[in-house]
Chain A
Amino acid sequence: MSQFDLVVIGSGPGGYVAAIKAGQLGLKVALVEKDNSLGGTCLNVGCIPSKALLHSTEVYQHAVHGKKHGLVGAEKLTFDVAAMLANKDKVVAQLNMGVGALLKKRNVEVVRGLGRLVKSGQVLVRSTAGDRTLETKNILIATGSVPVELPFMKFDGETVISSDHGISLKAVPEKMVVVGAGAIGLELGSVWARLGSQVTVVEMLPGIGGPAYDTDVAKAAQNAFEKQGLKFELGAKVTGVKKTAAGSALTAERDGKSLEFPADKILVAVGRKANTTGLGAQEAGLKLDERGRIVIDAHYQTNLPGVYAIGDVVTGPMLAHKAEEEGVAVAENLAGKKGHVNYGVIPGVIYTDPEVACVGLSEAEAKAKNIEVAIGKFQLAGNGRAIASDCTSGFVKVIACAKTDKLLGVQMVAKGASEMIAAACAHMEYGGSAEDVARTCFAHPTVSESFKEAAMAVSKSSIHSL
């Protein structure tokens, strides 16, 4: 007889949320975690710590530029990196505790150690305290992802670093080169640039932010970041690191020309890859795809009966909230309910200043699908709250179907875009149209009104733009 209804391997946002949901629904659940702290990459070395650092450095930046707001002596302001890191660690620790408390409340047993898939219905947990075999009806693999390492410039933790290190630098590097202009590179690049580092972002693609964003959005974000001192080297292919008299330099090439970027730290943020280390996938006969991701069916079941997988370790965007939704769906399915994830409405956010966010289709993607689109844009420069709050950089773009007015996607560069995008998600989740947004009352004054205005602009009826 099985000890458990469900054993979840990995306590990241996919795993712990699935465990809690399954517990809520009355299943007997064990959660296996190899690290000392719960919460996975997101909570320990990803989303949360980077947000803490982004906030600390933003507070500093606001203060430094506080003269026009009446702050005296702002120019002479200094900062303490160690204190910022300590604050970050405190935030992380608080949330570690919180996750533990939630799991306990739902009677989820946390099993410490590296979870290994033996076969359907059996997980072996190895730890310094010894091995333990868990018998279970179902297994959910939520082992997440790890940073991608470039083969010709492996992480050394000193010069060539990953995001794991990038959130814990003891001192501000004089020169930092970030490889990859995605969310992680832009966020950590911003953190250290705000503290005075000369940051150069080297990106292979012609635009920043990744392929999800339209060119106009990416360009607006790039302009905003350049004003903050970040340099961008786009369309450049990284070739390696070399030692120079002054220290190190990243080498790259563009249009056949060699480039060299001196750096004290080289943060490689070119993406993440599925993590199945120690899982015993091969031995158990678990099917992986060519990129090492676990292959699943529409119900998240792997090729092994009763073995499921979600989050970064399977296909789809590597986002905490995507993993959470999948975790809930699996738990609900196992409890006899109908879990469902709407992959068309999963927001993406870059937590810079201004933030960059998107959901649904970009204009380019819609056009590639031969959908006739109607576009509405609204510049934050026309938003009262943005003017009052010193954040007029950016705009909101609404992509609607020209025929049905249905919201196809929303993209934005704006202070608070991460919060504003939620309204777009809610409307899209219910099949809303641009007119639905336009007819929804937004509080005034808020930056969010820019979303409403952009929705009105779809039918050329924006009130606050010409």
Chain B
Amino acid sequence: MAVEVKIPPMGESITGGLLAAWLVKSGDAVRKGQPLFSYETDKVTSEGTAEVDGQITLVVNAGTDVVVGQVVASIEAGAAGNAPSAAPAPAAKPAASSAPAATAAPAPKAAPVAAKSGAAAEISPAVRRLSEETGLDPAGLEGTGKAGRVTKGDMLAALSGQAPIRAVAPAAAPAAASAPAAPAAAVVIPSRDGRTSRKRMSPLRRKIAERLVQAKSETAMLTTFNEVNMAPVMELRKRHGEEFLKKYGIKLGFMSFFVKAAVQAMKEVPAINAQLDGEDIIENHFYDIGVAVGTDKGLMVPVVRDCDQLNFAGIEKAIGDFGKRARDGKIQLPELQGGVFTISNGGIYGSMLSTPILNHPQAAIMGLHNIVERPVAENGQVVIRPIMYLALSYDHRLIDGKEAVTFLVKVRQYIEDPQRLLFGV
């Protein structure tokens, strides 16, 4: 009996994504629980697994946009398949290069193009080759050949952005499909003169773009700055770092200080820990802090839960674990949801000063920057101190300037005098 392999539901907000790579080939024997494909959505990368033992037949090419519930393979339960090859099928690598190829003029709201088993036989060999190499589905083109057939020239024109791609009817895809139109591809397409090349945004990149624009256009965002002398924290790390590492197995970083400082400051300025829902203000009484992590696919913001109840080691461990798993593409969707505040550290890349964009619908985001020795005046003397600039972008609809500035001043005070954290003053 054939069992259909479908794109699994990932959570309410996810309707589709990119089937980034197949880990098996058609005809392979698969075992229940074996990972079959990697699947990239706008939020996470995950794997689809076999539900039964048997022989698998792939239906959809790697690099195809898929929707939740779409059948991507079938497994003939109990059938003996080919011995799985030592290496996974040479499908698209789930790396940056697997970003789908962009095609000109994406049609609005077209359904994703599923690979149709019969279609391959109807297209010319050159068209098939181009389709497989670029992921451009000829079904989306206006063919100029006999009876509307798509010619190689039509494909080349579409790939070079000279011809429009028409919306195509959804092919056996659920009606809920809202994934973007143009088909995905596993390659970067160079332009004719080689001066540009084109690839499609990954679902994650598309989502980031959408969220950033939303934050910019739907909030009244502005940024306040401050500077902080990092000498006391550095001194503490020097004094306790080795012991900390020995005891907890993780380095004492700066991040735990800032998380703790932010939590304490939020307690004192509750407007920061709130968000707008229509005309209502939701006040949060918990401290789940998002920590931005850069990956080769884009920015991810996993959330460290209940930071008010964690000690420094607990925070450092959580961040370290997220960083590693984010780079491996192993972050689970729930781990990205529900944060109330975000800390973004551009300093690790050397940023002196920046204005972070809100992680919508949160009301504020704090940006950390690099630590630079600067001359500062202390008690009438010019002295050299390791200084970091702090930035706080906030939604002015919800947070007044006084609150935002107060918050940031509090953070500064906690960092410059960490003992305050002990007493909450």
Binding site for B on A (CB under 8 A): 401, 403-406, 429-433, 435-436, 438-440
Report A84 CB to chain B, min CB distance, Å: 43
Q: Does B126 contact A (CB under 8 A)?
A: yes
Nearest residue in B to A433 (C-beta to C-beta)? Answer: B152
Chain A binder among B141-149, B198-206, B293-301, B382-390:
B141-149
Q: Are B157 and A404 closer than 8 Å at their CB atoms? A: yes
**The 8 nearest A-B residue pairs measured at CB:** A404-B153, A431-B145, A439-B125, A435-B126, A433-B152, A431-B151, A436-B126, A436-B124
Return the contact of B125 from the options A404, A406, A429, A440 (Cβ within 8 A).
A440
Q: Evaluate whether A403 and B153 lie within 8 angstroms (CB atoms) in the complex, with A430-B146, A431-B144 already known.
A: yes
Judge whether B125 and A403 touch: CB under 8 Å: no
Residues of B within 8 A of A435 (CB): 125-126, 129, 152
Q: Which residues of chain B have C-beta atoms less than 8 A from A432's C-beta? A: 124, 126, 145, 151-152
In the complex, are the beta carbons of A404 and B126 less than 8 A apart?
Answer: no
**Bound complex: CA A432 to CA B152 (Å):** 7
- A439 with B151, Cβ < 8 A, contacts A429-B146, A430-B124, A431-B145 known: no
**Is B156 interfacial (CB 8 A cutoff)?**
yes
Which residues on the A side are within 8 Å of B145 (C-beta)? Answer: 430-432
- The 8 Å CB contact of A439, one of B126, B143, B153, B156, is B126
Rounded to whole Å, the gap between the CB of A304 and the closest CB of chain B is: 33
**Which residues of B (51-97) have their CB < 8 Å from a CB of A?**
none
**Contact A401–B149 (Cβ < 8 Å):** no
Provide the residues of chain A in CB contact with B157, threshold 8 Å.
Answer: 404
- Distance in Å from the Cβ of B190 to the closest Cβ of chain A? 16
Interface class of chain B by DSSP? helix
B: residues with CB less than 8 A from A are 124-127, 129, 143-146, 149, 151-153, 156-157
Q: How far is the CA of A435 from the CA of B26 in the complex (A)?
A: 27
Q: A432 to B129: give the CA distance in the assembly, Å.
A: 13
Q: Can you give 30 A-B contacts (C-beta < 8 A)? A: A401-B153, A403-B153, A404-B153, A404-B156, A404-B157, A405-B126, A405-B156, A406-B152, A406-B153, A429-B146, A430-B124, A430-B145, A430-B146, A431-B143, A431-B145, A431-B149, A431-B153, A432-B126, A433-B151, A433-B153, A435-B126, A435-B129, A435-B152, A436-B124, A436-B127, A436-B152, A438-B126, A439-B125, A439-B126, A440-B125
Given the complex of chains A and B, what is the CA–CA distance between A185 and B356 in angstroms?
A: 84
A439 with B129: CB separation less than 8 A:
yes
Nearest A residue to B151 by beta-carbon distance?
Answer: A431
Q: Are B146 and A406 in contact (CB under 8 A)?
A: no
On chain B, the residues within 8 Å of A401 by CB distance are 153
Q: How far is the CB of B142 from chain A (nearest CB, A)?
A: 13
A430 smallest CB distance to B (angstroms): 5
Q: Are A433 and B124 in contact (CB under 8 A)?
A: yes
Apart from A435-B129, A435-B152: 19 A-B pairs, beta carbons within 8 A: A401-B153, A403-B153, A404-B157, A405-B126, A406-B152, A431-B143, A431-B144, A431-B149, A431-B153, A432-B126, A432-B145, A432-B151, A433-B153, A435-B125, A436-B124, A436-B125, A436-B126, A436-B127, A439-B129
Contacts of A403 in B (CB 8 A): 153, 156
* Most chain B C-beta atoms within 10 Å of own C-beta, residue among A401, A429, A436, A439: A436
Question: What's the nearest-Cβ distance from chain B to residue A372, in Å?
Answer: 13
Q: Are B125 and A431 in contact (CB under 8 A)?
A: no
Query: Chain A's nearest CB lies how many Å from the CB of B264?
Result: 66
Q: In the docked arrangement, what's the CA distance between A433 and B143, Å?
A: 14
What is the distance, in angstroms, from B17's C-beta to the closest C-beta of chain A?
32
Q: Given A430-B124, A431-B145, A431-B146, is A405 in contact with B129 using a C-beta cutoff of 8 Å?
A: no
- Could you tell me the distance in whole angstroms from the C-beta of A93 to the nearest C-beta in chain B? 39
CA distance A401 to B144 in the complex (A): 15
- Give A182 to B126 CA distance when docked, in angstroms: 36
Distance in angstroms from A144 CB to nearest chain B CB is 29
Q: Which residue on B lies nearest to A401, using beta carbons?
A: B153
Taking the closest CB of chain B, its distance from the CB of A465, in whole angstroms, is 21
User: Roughly how many angstroms separate A464 CA and B146 CA in the complex, as a whole number?
Assistant: 32
Structural contact, A405 and B124, CB atoms closer than 8 A: no
Chain A residues within an 8 Å CB radius of B144: 431
A428–chain B nearest beta-carbon distance, Å? 10
- Among residues of A, the one whose C-beta sits closest to the C-beta of B128 is A439
Q: Considering only CB atoms, which chain B residue lies closest to A432 in the complex?
A: B124
Give bound CA distance, A439 to B247, whole Å. 66
Asked if residues B156 and A430 are in contact (CB atoms below 8 Å), the reply is: no
A276 to chain B, nearest CB (A): 35
In the complex, what distance in Å separates the CA atom of A440 from the CA atom of B127? 12
Residues of A within 8 A of B129 (CB): 435, 439
